[in-house]
């Protein structure tokens, strides 16, 4: 048996299967092969966060920053992650968030503006907190180290067999790591849904957000691009979220969906990014408008 086939068998045995977008197996969150201690993970996160802050344009408006941080800290308290979270807002049109190891989360202003309500912002933050709680960054890095170690014996193979083996590993490694990453994305969705439900937000906001992104996304991907993609297809994420909500979560009389504070923050972001006068409203003005609640459905037809 060739070294490449041996490595493939080892990877198939160790890396969990992720057909389509199956929910992760029940297990203790964050367990698995990890060469990084929690202390080292936090230090790595600090270094990476400093790099982000050097390159990115942070939004330091106190109203926006405090609001987003407060939502994130509330969700983190329901996660049991055990990290001190640092959550900041980055000025960027891209609809995205970034979670670094050890509890450092950067939220793009484009994602906040793309969300239609506070619950949608909460599910996006909860997804990233799930990545941190499950230690995905350092677990992924540990698998990269294993694959690098596994390639060392192939360096001593000469001639065409050695060249083919090394090329095969170079091609197979990204596929293996992306396969693992898709499983991590599935787990982050699963954990995020639990966190928002525990915090009182409407967990179906994840479904609403994903479906709207799918409708507005005009890009097309081929089969090979989808195979290399880290994130599972949106349709699969939606189905998985719907199954989890139905099977795992106990219905509540009502869920938090929207707050006037969220609308104020979106208004301030729009003014900041267009260079206009930043509006100011007192806390009492915001509190004059009660939060919008969504009643739990009692039947599938409601």
Q: Whole domain around residue 265: which residue ranges? A: 23-157+175-295
Q: Please give the pLDDT value at position 296.
A: 60
Residue 133 has pLDDT above 70, yes or no: yes
- Total Cβ atoms within 10 A of residue 12: 10
Q: How far apart are CA 146 and CA 101, in angstroms?
A: 19
Q: Please give the pLDDT value at position 213.
A: 79
Evaluate whether residue 207 is within a structural domain: yes
Q: Tell me the pairing of strands 86-90 and 97-100.
A: unpaired
Pick from 59-68, 90-99, 123-132: least confident: 90-99
CA distances from 8 to 70, 90, 157, 169, 226 (A): 45, 40, 18, 9, 21
Evaluate whether residue 27 is within a structural domain: yes
Helix or strand or coil: residue 170? helix
Evaluate whether residue 41 is within a structural domain: yes
Residue 260 has pLDDT above 70, yes or no: yes
Q: How far apart are CA 135 and CA 38, in angstroms?
A: 9
Evaluate whether residue 126 is within a structural domain: yes
Residues 245 and 210 sit within 8 Å (Cβ to Cβ): no
Q: Is the pTM of this model over 0.85?
A: no
Evaluate whether residue 300 is within a structural domain: no
Residues 173 and 146 sit within 8 Å (Cβ to Cβ): no
Distance from first CA to last CA of the chain, Å, rounded?
Answer: 59
pLDDT, one tens digit per residue, over 220-247 is 444 334 433 556 788 899 999 999 999 9
Residues 57 and 89 sit within 8 Å (Cβ to Cβ): no
Q: How far apart are CA 203 and CA 1, in angstroms?
A: 49
Q: Please give the pLDDT value at position 295.
A: 63
Evaluate whether residue 196 is within a structural domain: yes
Q: Please give the pLDDT value at position 216.
A: 72
Evaluate whether residue 12 is within a structural domain: no
pLDDT, one tens digit per residue, over 154-166 is 334 444 444 344 4
Q: Could you give the number of structural domains in the chain?
A: 1
Residue 265 has pLDDT above 90, yes or no: yes
Residue 20 has pLDDT above 80, yes or no: no
Q: How far apart are CA 8 and CA 261, in angstroms?
A: 52
Evaluate whether residue 285 is within a structural domain: yes
Q: Please give the pLDDT value at position 202.
A: 96
Contacts of 237 (CB under 8 A, 6+ apart): 21, 185, 186, 189, 210, 231
Q: Please give the pLDDT value at position 161.
A: 45
166 versus 44: the higher-pLDDT residue is 44
Q: Please give the pLDDT value at position 231.
A: 63
Look over the chain and give the mean of its residue pLDDT values, rounded to a whole number.
77
**Position 61 confidence tier, pLDDT thresholds 50, 70, 90:** very high
Helix or strand or coil: residue 295? strand
Q: Please give the pLDDT value at position 274.
A: 86
107: phi > 0 → left, psi -120 to 50 → alpha, else beta; which?
beta
């Amino acid at each position: 048996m060739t070294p490449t086939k041996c490595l493939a068998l080892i990877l198939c045995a160790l890396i969990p299967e992720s057909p389509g977008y199956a929910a992760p197996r029940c297990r203790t969150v964050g367990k698995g092969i990890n060469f990084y201690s929690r202390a080292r993970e936090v230090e790595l996160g600090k270094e990476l966060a400093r790099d982000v802050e050097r390159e990115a344009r942070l939004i330091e408006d106190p109203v926006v920053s405090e609001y987003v941080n407060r939502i994130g800290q509330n969700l983190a308290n329901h996660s049991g992650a055990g990290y001190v979270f640092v959550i900041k807002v980055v000025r960027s049109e891209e609809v995205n968030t970034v979670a670094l190891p050890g509890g450092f989360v950067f939220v793009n202003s484009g994602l906040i503006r793309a969300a239609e309500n506070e619950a949608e912002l909460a599910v996006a933050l909860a997804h990233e907190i799930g990545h941190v709680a499950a230690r995905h960054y350092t677990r992924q890095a540990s698998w990269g180290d294993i694959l690098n170690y596994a390639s060392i014996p192939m360096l001593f193979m000469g001639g065409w067999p050695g060249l083919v083996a090394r090329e095969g590993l170079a091609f197979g490694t990204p596929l293996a790591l992306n396969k693992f990453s898709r499983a991590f994305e599935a787990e982050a969705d699963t954990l995020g849904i639990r966190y928002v439900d525990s915090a009182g937000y409407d967990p179906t906001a994840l479904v609403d957000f994903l479906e709207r992104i799918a409708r507005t996304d005009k890009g097309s991907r081929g089969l090979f691009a989808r195979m290399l993609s880290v994130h599972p297809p949106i349709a699969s994420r939606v189905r998985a979220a719907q199954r989890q909500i139905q099977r795992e979560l106990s219905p509540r009389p009502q869920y938090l969906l929207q707050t006037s504070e969220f609308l104020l923050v979106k208004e301030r972001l729009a003014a900041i990014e267009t260079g206009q006068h930043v509006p100011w409203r007192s806390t009492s003005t915001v509190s004059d408008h009660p939060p919008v609640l969504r009643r739990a459905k009692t039947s599938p037809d409601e």
